Structure 1
Amino acid sequence: MIPIGANLQKIRNGKRTYAITPHLPGGFVKPEILRKYADAAEKYGGVLKLTSAQRIMITGLKAEDVEHVWADLGMQPAMGFANCVRSIKLCPGIAFCKRGKQDSIKLGLELDRLYHKKEMPSRMKIGVAGCQNSCAEVHIKDIGVLGTDNGWDVYVGGSCGAHPRLAQKLRSDLTYEEVLRLIAVIVRYYQQHGEIERVGEFIDRIGWERFSSDVLALYEAESGRETGCGREAERVEAMKSSEATARNKEATPYEAVKSDKAVNSNKAGESTKVAEPAHRGPLAASEPIQADSIVSDIIRVYPQTIPVLRSFGMGCLGCPSATGESIAKAADIHGIDIQALLRALNEGVANQTGSRPE
């Protein structure tokens, strides 16, 4: 019989060992909890393993020790049973990340509180990312939420593993409250009509048109939201104003990471964005690199600038943001003097070509 809250690992020479995975909301862990992990692993001969779901597993445990390990940790298992909502995966968002567009920690922890371990027709994975880099892998989650400048986009039906499937966008530019309402409708609809199948398989079985129309009709009916252009414009502007105000305040310490010192998302009164210069179109060969030049265009036209960019600490040149981000915006995000960077880039081009771009 498998011990409660444990998973059987590979059987070697007839010996059985087990792993346990405590729940860590959002992957945040206090120093004192880490010490408990280390003490328990050392005491019972276990091995610590970081998982892809932002948790810490203790593996290599004997069956008779599992109950004692749980008692020493004083924590709850991350998973109740197979067909339930797993831990919500989330990124740092505006609280910690320089590229964050929305508060993914606040939303992710609330979703974890609402849905973690809830019974479903099959297992369900939810991801919340604060920007288009999608560090929480929202496009391969059953429900994915992606932060943008205009709010939140909601995706459904993603999965990985043996039958990978990219999630499809269901709704865009939602507020925090609207995301919670829409996800509540998605979950309830899936619980009522899904069989033993992931959300993506459920959508493939009944068709995207039926799924999306049913869910959105229920969402609109329950929210009672007017969809007239005037009302919608007012809602979007109010949401933008609210988000901008939130960014310029100290971030509230989240329940999962309370400490004596509050973590600021940014200094009070300090803007989180740099004004984008007016873009003049794609960069062409022989043209000088200017503040409005797009990072991906610079690399494409002048590949010799890659070492220069890296020397300034801009190592992630292939990230999704590079495809639409100006060099001025990138410099601001990385805390780089844009004028010094432009001089170095254009000098790098001149050194390779023998002439400075005009």
Structure 2
Amino acid sequence: MLPKGANLQKIRNGVRTYAVTPHLPGGFVKPETLETYARVAREYGGTLKLTSAQRIMITGLKAEDIDNVWAELGMQPAMGFANCVRSVKICPGIAFCKRGKQDSVKLGLELDRRYIKKEMPSRLKIGVSGCPNSCAEAIIKDIGVIGTDEGWDVYVGGSAGAHPRLADKLAAGLDYDATLRLVDIIVGYYKRHADIERLGQFIDRIGLEKFRVDVLAEFAAAPSAAAPAAAHDAPVPARTGDEPRLKAGDSIAADSIIADIIRVYPETIPVLRGFGMGCLGCPSAAGEALEKAAGIHGLEVSDLTVALNKVALKEEKQ
């Protein structure tokens, strides 16, 4: 099992090292906090790494040191589901940049306050850029907001990585409050209707026009109140090809595909997360066999199959 609030970073010669990544909204950090980071990293033999999500990772840590690291940082572990709002990336905007057209810091920090670490059907990233230069890379975020002279433009469905996708523009020229309402409606719609899939995959599956019509109709119908976010307790992955080979009642085996396992037995999701296999919404991970995923995470596949089948087949064993 993973140490609380840590991510497995590397396995070398059987030795595992971990990383912690405290939350820094917008990447803003006080000098004394930086000094604490440096002291703790030095004390426990860690290395500081600036991340693309405007945070500072402390990596190279031992499992037995994780609790002490958090205690000495004076922070609660930065916990969250693997399939959650991972980051809200913010550019300097008019607060710090001569090219800024809108206050990206104010909007970005509010979005961070509302959504960071909230569970989603898959990982979700938000970018807020104060001008069309888009220094927060809003166009490759699941939800991107870009400031113009007229207000905020809202984009949806962007992603980078192994399956890059540029975001589609959904609305333009919104004020601060309208932007927050629209983002809330987008998030709620995504949570209610998506499988375990990134927002861009979801849009491609149902069609951009349907997504646009549904979301903007909800936005127009509720001009003064955000749509409530519905619960999405057990999302399941979208089918991307053939029907799953695994069927209800089958035992989970080493060659079972991750996407099939969590579609047929969604109650196994917490088990996989408990073993540190959190990227269940990643297209590459979802298509892997359990054995391959176990090897990547340095796990014995037999331990995984026993734990998964204990949950998946409990009714059959009664």
One fold, TM greater than 0.5?
yes
Match status 1:30 vs 2:30 = yes
State the alpha-carbon separation in 1 of the partners of residues 51 and 76 from structure 2: 16
Deviation at 1:12, TM superposition (A): 1.2
Match status 1:65 vs 2:65 = yes
2:174 equivalent in structure 1: 174
2:187 equivalent in structure 1: 187
State the alpha-carbon separation in 1 of the partners of residues 22 and 85 from structure 2: 15
Deviation at 1:216, TM superposition (A): 0.1
Deviation at 1:14, TM superposition (A): 1.3
Deviation at 1:224, TM superposition (A): 6.0
Q: How does 1:150-161 map to 2 (within 5 A)?
A: 150-161=150-161
Q: Is the 8 A contact 1:85 1:125 kept in 2?
A: yes
State the alpha-carbon separation in 2 of the partners of residues 189 and 53 from structure 1: 25
1:9 equivalent in structure 2: 9
State the alpha-carbon separation in 1 of the partners of residues 83 and 14 from structure 2: 29
Report how many residues are paired. 225
Q: Is the 8 A contact 1:23 1:87 kept in 2?
A: no
Q: Is the 8 A contact 1:24 1:78 kept in 2?
A: no
Do the aligned partners of residues 207 and 127 (structure 1) sit closer, same or farther apart at CA in structure 2, a change above 3 Å counting?
Answer: same
Deviation at 1:76, TM superposition (A): 4.0
1:253 equivalent in structure 2: none
Q: Is the 8 A contact 1:8 1:17 kept in 2?
A: yes
Match status 1:115 vs 2:115 = yes
State the alpha-carbon separation in 1 of the partners of residues 34 and 119 from structure 2: 29
Secondary structure of 2:85's partner? Answer: coil
Deviations 1:221-257 (A, max 9, x none): 01069xxxxxxxxxxxxxxxxxxxxxxxxxxxxxxxx
State the alpha-carbon separation in 1 of the partners of residues 160 and 6 from structure 2: 24
Q: Where does structure 1 lack aligned partners over 5 or more consecutive residues?
A: 226-358
State the alpha-carbon separation in 2 of the partners of residues 190 and 75 from structure 1: 31
Deviation at 1:194, TM superposition (A): 0.6
Secondary structure of 1:160's partner? Answer: coil
Deviation at 1:13, TM superposition (A): 1.4
TM-score by length of 2: 0.69
State the alpha-carbon separation in 2 of the partners of residues 181 and 9 from structure 1: 37
State the alpha-carbon separation in 2 of the partners of residues 8 and 118 from structure 1: 21
Deviations 1:184-207 (A, max 9, x none): 100000000010000000000000
State the alpha-carbon separation in 2 of the partners of residues 76 and 194 from structure 1: 31
State the alpha-carbon separation in 1 of the partners of residues 176 and 2 from structure 2: 41
Q: How does 1:1-358 map to 2 (within 5 A)?
A: 1-78=1-78, 80-223=80-223
Secondary structure of 2:153's partner? Answer: strand
Deviation at 1:87, TM superposition (A): 2.0
Secondary structure of 2:72's partner? Answer: helix
Amino acid at match of 1:192: R
Q: Is the 8 A contact 2:87 2:124 kept in 1?
A: no
Deviations 1:3-29 (A, max 9, x none): 011111211111111100000000000
State the alpha-carbon separation in 2 of the partners of residues 98 and 77 from structure 1: 36
Amino acid at match of 1:61: L
Identity of aligned residues (%): 74
State the alpha-carbon separation in 1 of the partners of residues 149 and 78 from structure 2: 32
Deviations 1:313-340 (A, max 9, x none): xxxxxxxxxxxxxxxxxxxxxxxxxxxx
Considering Cα pairs closer than 8 Å and 6+ residues apart, tell me whether 1 or 2 has the greater RCO: 2
Higher strand share: 2
Secondary structure of 1:169's partner? Answer: strand
TM-score by length of 1: 0.62
Secondary structure of 2:33's partner? Answer: helix
